[in-house]
Amino acid sequence: MIKLIDILENKTLVPRRSKEERVKNYNIALQKKTQQYIKDGGKGSLNLRNTPITSLPNNLTKVGGDLRLHKTEITSLPDNLKVEGSIDLSYTPITSLPNNLQVGGGIDLRSSTITSLPNNLQVGGNLNLTSTSITSLPDNLKVGGSLYLYNTPLSGKYSKEEIKKMIEDKGGEVKGRIHI
């Protein structure tokens, strides 16, 4: 038992677990949470935002709600992933999205390190590429909402009309507005 007098005399307390051990245990808990989510059939949203997660298991093929990975260390998503809601990958080090990614809602990639998008990308809602290094848009890009290109190489080089024509010439469409 710690005595109040020891605390008052500024004697240092030794933590029960080291920082490394706490981080390791936290990562194990995140893996268990994700595996339980998969085992439960991918129902509802999967919220891993602000965690140290770097990847998702390859057997994660369905997210029934939103996939929240904001401010994580995620570098990739599993192939053939279907997300019925939206994906938040803002402020992550992700550089590309997998082929065959299906998203019912929007994709937020703002301030991520994304450098390319897969061909045939279909996004049911908004596609936010604000403050990214995207220099080109993929073939057959379909965006059900708006396309946000603030502070990108594309917004500095092309007008809204030129970007719209570029998308349409590649077989794609943006149903909402294009914001540069």
CB-CB contact of 89 with 69 (8 Å): yes
pLDDT band at 180 (very low <50, low <70, confident <90, very high): very high
pLDDT digits (tens, 9 = 90+) for 87-135: 999 999 999 899 889 999 999 999 999 999 999 999 999 999 999 999 9
pLDDT band at 3 (very low <50, low <70, confident <90, very high): low
Provide the domain count of the chain: 1
Asked, for residue 9, whether it belongs to a domain, the answer is: no
Asked, for residue 102, whether it belongs to a domain, the answer is: yes
Q: Rounded mean pLDDT of the chain?
A: 90
Asked, for residue 2, whether it belongs to a domain, the answer is: no
CB-CB contact of 49 with 29 (8 Å): no
Question: Which of 64, 54, 114, 115 has the alpha carbon at shortest distance from 90?
Answer: 114
Domain that residue 69 falls in:
17-179
| pLDDT value at residue 158 | 94
| pLDDT value at residue 70 | 97
Asked, for residue 22, whether it belongs to a domain, the answer is: yes
pLDDT digits (tens, 9 = 90+) for 130-141: 999 999 999 999
Asked, for residue 156, whether it belongs to a domain, the answer is: yes
pLDDT band at 18 (very low <50, low <70, confident <90, very high): confident
Asked, for residue 8, whether it belongs to a domain, the answer is: no
How many alpha carbons lie under 13 Å from residue 29 in its C-beta half-sphere?
9
CATH at residue 78:
3.80.10
The pLDDT of 5-26, averaged and rounded, is 72
Asked, for residue 171, whether it belongs to a domain, the answer is: yes
Residue 12 has pLDDT above 80, yes or no: no
pLDDT digits (tens, 9 = 90+) for 43-68: 999 999 999 888 899 999 999 999 99
Asked, for residue 38, whether it belongs to a domain, the answer is: yes
